[in-house]
Amino acid sequence: MKASRARLFKEYKEVQREKTADPDIQLVCDDSNIFKWTALIKGPSETPYEGGVFQLAFAVPEQYPLQPPQVRFLTKIFHPNVHFKTGEICLDILKNAWSPAWTLQSVCRAIIALMAHPEPDSPLNCDSGNLLRSGDMRGFQSMARMYTRLAAMPKKG
């Protein structure tokens, strides 16, 4: 508990110090609870998520960093490895491949990488996975783009 708090505090200071280091990621700690974080990440370019801003919610366990944080999308996203309803993410480093050397920042980076390179063979969103697996890139991209427009872009007007 103490160790995780100290480590999160270090990460917090690091985030404050290098706010501009990674313009795609904006990590914010909850005002009253250092175990709750949110992040805003930009959809990677040349993907159907480009132009969208996606919100992630982090719930950090007390055994952090020995155990991984729980992360989910708050913004709706059409992606084979993200549950369409709950926003749950299927990513190995958030499960068994977790290493205590990872940080919240690096988890965000890994999620951005996952957005650019979906793994249709272990889908949480079967519709999306099936589109990719059947080779229907156009169908997948237009669905993903539509949801990016609907959910991840500031409303115009």
State yes or no: residue 70 binds another protein (CB under 8 A).
no
State yes or no: residue 69 binds another protein (CB under 8 A).
no
Report helix, strand or coil for 93.
Answer: helix
Residues 6+ apart with CB under 8 A from 43: 49, 50, 51, 52, 53, 54, 115, 148, 152
Closest to 43 measured CA to CA, from 124, 119, 115, 108? 115
What whole-number distance in Å separates Cα of residue 129 and Cα of residue 91?
15
Token pair for 117: 């390179």
- From the list 16, 33, 45, 67, which residue makes contact with another protein (rule: CB under 8 A)? 67
User: In this chain, which stretch among 22-30, 52-60, 71-79, 96-104 interacts with another protein, using CB under 8 A?
Assistant: 96-104
State yes or no: residue 99 binds another protein (CB under 8 A).
yes
CB-nearer residue toward another protein: 27 or 131: 27
User: In this chain, which stretch among 64-72, 74-82, 119-127, 139-147 interacts with another protein, using CB under 8 A?
Assistant: 64-72
Q: Interface residues with another protein (CB under 8 A)?
A: 3, 6-7, 10-11, 14, 63, 65-67, 93, 97, 99-102
